[in-house]
Structure 1
């Protein structure tokens, strides 16, 4: 008999560091293909977690560390009837840089992770301790700072490179113009013909070239950009209905659907965590 696994998500944002942490248990939920402007670093706790990343299908099992660099597209779902549970944290490049500069005593670049799945039990335990510290409203800033260094520095030193491999940052100039257009005018309703004309290519060529450069086709990248701006506006306290209109979604329900499909929580839950003092929001 197949056991029913109810989806449950808890989310925290630490007010001192800005670090966001998610604890999830999923059976039926599947993430849309999306990307984050931050790193996405996780540890699978139980079950099997399946996802596509860098053109490959991966399955993470308990104790495995998941490491994804900023702007890398991925999805996610249960890879078995038992569902899966995991911690996920989202450190940005500046947080990495500040830790590494402090440790090295000089300039340091944020790490690049070449391996998506990492078998390192000690690092996994450190990441779980960090997630628990961030999610504990009674944890002192000193305790969180110690957990940050204890978890992220070993991960960077053992498994990170000082820079992305050559070629990863090179972009097709015409496709980059399209990206800049979508980035600046995220609230507009673009047509693919318009983007093709901007690049001087066919619709098929521009869609394929954009996905090759940025990991998502233009429409999905535009949705990702709208969600990033929505997070900023929600964090500033703007009502979700106003945010939806400001970033180009049809209505608030459309924002809610896309937000949850990418982040696992609703805009209201995200906003509640951002306005509370290191407290959590829960769904499910």
Structure 2
């Protein structure tokens, strides 16, 4: 069966110099080349054969491929099946500050050691970042959170991750950030806005926040919005107003977030609560 070679590039609408590629290849071969960005790919079907760093590699479904900036490589389908993979390209100006916040001391011109690996956590982050970009998801905070978590996993694999900060009291700066979130829960809050309130770099802020509260700022904001929505539903507010008053893009977005927490849709919850 003849497959058409397809390549779909999508640039992030939120972060400069971050791009996703969704590719299907059958009889196409990449010539030897290198990118200016860090490249993170996941083979999804077929076999991905390539030569890089003096070695020949074979990537099977689920494997991760990583190329550092300037790392030359080629690539082609390794068998008679169509090769399908996703790739994200992140410029050093975006990735290296995240690596620094995760604990990498020498993050400039950082070299990731593994070219081919199997890591479920890292694969999860790469595919979620690609999906976020491809779907043009209107949530910059979530994308930045995913990128930071991916950077943290890279630092952990390389032995560069900072140890967890031990604290028995709420940090004053983080309490200030919490208050800002509560006061602006219905707005489209960005990570830049929150971190500016406490005079921290945004990726250092993510790390401190998660160490203090056990969840990321994005997860915390989402939880606050869901709880505020629940209270409004209990008070009999119009469902459509609840959607937009608490920062959800549409009813489907609220449904996807609400049901895993309360076991029913917002409409079902409101009906159940008002009847009882």
The bucket for the TM-score relative to the shorter chain is 0.5 to 0.7
Cα-to-partner distance string for 1:129-162 (whole Å, 9 max, x where unaligned): 1111111213311121112112232123314779
What does residue 143 of structure 1 align with?
142
What does residue 11 of structure 2 align with?
13
Cα distance in 2 for residues equivalent to 1:56 and 1:107: 27
Secondary structure, aligned partner of 2:93: helix
**What does residue range 1-284 of structure 1 map to in structure 2 within 5 Å?**
3-18=1-16, 19-104=18-103, 108-109=107-108, 111-159=110-158
Runs of 4+ in 1 over 6 A off after TM superposition: none
Secondary structure, aligned partner of 1:44: strand
Judged with a 3 Å threshold, the aligned counterparts in structure 2 of structure 1 residues 73 and 107 are, in CA distance, closer, same or farther, namely closer
Secondary structure, aligned partner of 1:113: coil
What does residue 272 of structure 1 align with?
none
Cα distance in 1 for residues equivalent to 2:160 and 2:106: 15
What does residue 267 of structure 1 align with?
none
Cα-to-partner distance string for 1:108-133 (whole Å, 9 max, x where unaligned): 44531222101111211111011111
Cα distance in 2 for residues equivalent to 1:150 and 1:99: 9
Query: How far did 1:74 drift?
Result: 0.6
Cα distance in 1 for residues equivalent to 2:102 and 2:157: 14
Secondary structure, aligned partner of 1:155: helix
Cα distance in 1 for residues equivalent to 2:96 and 2:154: 13
Cα distance in 1 for residues equivalent to 2:27 and 2:104: 47
- Confirm or deny: 8 A CA contact 1:100 1:153 kept in the other structure: yes
Query: How far did 1:40 drift?
Result: 1.5
Query: How far did 1:72 drift?
Result: 1.0
Secondary structure, aligned partner of 2:155: helix
Question: TM-score of the superposition, structure 1-length normalised?
Answer: 0.52
Cα distance in 2 for residues equivalent to 1:105 and 1:159: 9
Judged with a 3 Å threshold, the aligned counterparts in structure 2 of structure 1 residues 37 and 108 are, in CA distance, closer, same or farther, namely closer
- Confirm or deny: 8 A CA contact 1:113 1:161 kept in the other structure: no
- Confirm or deny: 8 A CA contact 2:102 2:151 kept in the other structure: no
Cα distance in 1 for residues equivalent to 2:21 and 2:7: 7
Return 5+ residue gaps in structure 1 as ranges.
163-284
Cα-to-partner distance string for 1:17-47 (whole Å, 9 max, x where unaligned): 1201101011111111111111111111111
Cα-to-partner distance string for 1:32-79 (whole Å, 9 max, x where unaligned): 111111111111111100111012111101111111111111111000
- Confirm or deny: 8 A CA contact 1:40 1:91 kept in the other structure: yes
Return 5+ residue gaps in structure 2 as ranges.
162-276
Cα-to-partner distance string for 1:207-256 (whole Å, 9 max, x where unaligned): xxxxxxxxxxxxxxxxxxxxxxxxxxxxxxxxxxxxxxxxxxxxxxxxxx
